[in-house]
Amino acid sequence: MNLPALTPVWTPDDVTIRKAGSILSEGGIGAMPTETVYGLAGDALNPTAVSRIFEAKNRPTFNPLIIHIAEPEDLHYLTVYPIEKAELLINKFWPGPLTLVLPKRKEVPDLTTGGKDSVAIRLPAHPIARNLIRASGKYLAAPSANPFNYISPTTAYHVQAQLSGKIDFILDGGPCTVGVESTVISLAEKTPVLLRHGGLSFEDLEAVLPGLTERTSILHESPDAPGQLAVHYSPGTRFKLWNGEDLSGPRTGFISWTHVPEDPEVVTYRLSESQSLIEGASRLFQGLYELDGKNLSIIYAEPVPDTGLGRAINDRLRRAAGKS
Ligand code: TXA
Ligand code: MG
């Protein structure tokens, strides 16, 4: 039998980042840490590299990718949007977990944007991600480094478990600090619209963009932002939002916010002992992975307060439950 070669996992240092950068500059693809989740990176302007990303993730090509840049000025090469108009957001929230959807330049391949005339751009805060972008000399398309519709990776181990043999390298930057994907805002419409809740809270954005609206409703096909697909971020185990059901037995998993199941056999994962939504977000995907690996018959998750990062957490829980 011909086993696929395992993907090497590298500790990021000057040498490995340079090596990874040169692989990307030649059309290769590899996983990099960001502050939100691990991304599967490739040259955003090279359709061959972008095809490999779609293929490795088994992701439909109508689903557009986010392009990662290392300097705000790089926006000029990717979008025709007058940058001054986005200055407030850029100065306040970049680098960080905010993605801007802007009208695209024709140099950006249709494959990268799923045929849309807009392009999603993010300037990550993680120093390894930014050094890798600089080392590659490219703009890096990077969706979360998980197979389509599966749980997003927040450690190099998650990436390795899911994509080893399909990508050229994994840079291990340790666990991601934010733990949910970036918040996506479109500036390509008449007024700003939030398309995906994420690591930057709605409230923080609203303070800068009064009257900000959202369009994140759960859709079943042809979504504006495929983070909107009903089934997304799902574990393989049957998964439901907890609505007061009886919790019992060793094959029941429970993602808990405040409730403690009476039956001590229930496999319980506390999102945050101290009730911090920030900590909860950072531990969410790790919890889904852990419980999904325990051969349970069902996992329930208790919704969290719907404020701040709680909106992103609840959104991921609802979508993870979408298929059951
Ligand atoms: O935090 C993140 O954003 C991570 C890290 C790796 O940077 N990346 C990530 O990428 O979550 P991905 O591909 O899993 O999610 C990209 C999201 C999707 O919901 C997609 O629909 C939306 O961004 N998006 C990308 N381009 C878009 C466009 N032109 N218009 C509307 N939505 C777009
Ligand atoms: Mg994703």
For residue 181, pLDDT beyond 70:
yes
**How far does residue 265's CA lie from ligand 2's centre (Å)?**
33
Please give the number of the atom of ligand 1 that sits closest to the Cα of 66. Answer: 25
For residue 218, pLDDT beyond 70:
no
For residue 246, pLDDT beyond 90:
yes
**Residue 126: pLDDT band with limits 50, 70, 90:** very high
Q: List pLDDT tens digits, range 25-46.
A: 999 999 999 999 999 999 999 9
Which ligand places an atom closest to the C-alpha of 65? 1
**Residue 138: pLDDT band with limits 50, 70, 90:** very high
Please give the number of the atom of ligand 1 that sits closest to the Cα of 118. Answer: 29
Q: List pLDDT tens digits, range 287-302.
A: 999 999 999 999 999 9
Helix (H, G, I), strand (E, B) or coil at 318: helix
Scored b (16 or more CB within 10 A) or e, 161-176 reads ebbbebbbbbbbbebb
**Residue 134: pLDDT band with limits 50, 70, 90:** very high
Tokens of 269: 């994962």
Tokens of 311: 């909106």
Q: What is the mean pLDDT of the chain?
A: 93
For residue 232, pLDDT beyond 70:
no
CA-nearest residue, atom 15 of ligand 1: 143
pLDDT score at 190: 92
Does the N-terminal peptide bond of residue 95 adopt cis geometry, omega within 30 degrees of 0? yes
Q: Contact, 33 vs 126, CB < 8 A?
A: yes
**Residue 159: pLDDT band with limits 50, 70, 90:** very high
pLDDT score at 252: 98
pLDDT score at 234: 77
For residue 313, pLDDT beyond 70:
yes
Can you give 233-299 as a three-state secondary structure string? CCCCCCEEECCCCCCCCCCEEEEECCCCCCCCCCEEEECCCCCCHHHHHHHHHHHHHHHHCCCCCEE
Please give the number of the atom of ligand 1 that sits closest to the Cα of 225. Answer: 21
Picking from 76, 60, 68, 64, the residue whose alpha carbon sits closest to that of residue 43 is: 68
Q: How crowded is residue 8: how many other Cβ atoms within 10 Å of its Cβ?
A: 16
pLDDT score at 226: 57
**Residue 170: pLDDT band with limits 50, 70, 90:** very high
For residue 73, pLDDT beyond 90:
yes
pLDDT score at 61: 87
CA-nearest residue, atom 33 of ligand 1: 225
**How far does residue 227's CA lie from ligand 2's centre (Å)?**
7
Can you tell me the mean pLDDT for 181-193? 96
Can you tell me the mean pLDDT for 189-208? 96
**How far does residue 292's CA lie from ligand 1's centre (Å)?**
24
Which H/E stretch holds residue 41?
strand 39-43
Tokens of 257: 């916010």
Please give the number of the atom of ligand 1 that sits closest to the Cα of 188. Answer: 30
Which positions ≥6 away from 93 have C-beta within 8 Å? Answer: 200, 204, 205, 208
Tokens of 277: 């939504």
For residue 125, pLDDT beyond 70:
yes
Which ligand places an atom closest to the C-alpha of 196? 1
pTM: 0.94
**Residue 169: pLDDT band with limits 50, 70, 90:** very high
Q: How crowded is residue 6: how many other Cβ atoms within 10 Å of its Cβ?
A: 10
Q: What percent of the chain has pLDDT over 90?
A: 88
Rounded distance between C-alpha atoms, residue 232 and residue 112, angstroms: 20
Rounded distance between C-alpha atoms, residue 30 and residue 316, angstroms: 25
Please give the number of the atom of ligand 1 that sits closest to the Cα of 196. Answer: 19
Ligand 1 residue neighbourhood (C-beta within 6 Å): 34, 36-37, 39, 63-66, 97, 99, 101, 113, 116, 118-120, 122, 124, 142-144, 181-182, 184, 195-196, 224-227
**CATH topology match: 9-214 vs 239-320:** no
**How far does residue 64's CA lie from ligand 1's centre (Å)?**
7
CATH code of the domain made up of 9-214: 3.90.870.10
Pocket test for ligand 1, best of 29, 144, 146, 284 (most atoms within 8 A of CB): 144
CA-nearest residue, atom 21 of ligand 1: 225
For residue 324, pLDDT beyond 50:
no
Q: Domain-by-domain residue ranges, the chain?
A: 9-214, 239-320
**Residue 323: pLDDT band with limits 50, 70, 90:** very low
pLDDT score at 62: 87
Pocket test for ligand 1, best of 158, 181, 234 (most atoms within 8 A of CB): 181
CATH superfamily of 239-320: Threonylcarbamoyl-AMP synthase, C-terminal domain (3.40.50.11030)
pLDDT score at 83: 87
- Would you give the distance in Å from CA 224 to the centre of its chain? 16
pLDDT score at 227: 58
Q: Which residues hold their Cβ within 5 A of ligand 2, which is an ion?
A: 144
pLDDT score at 231: 61
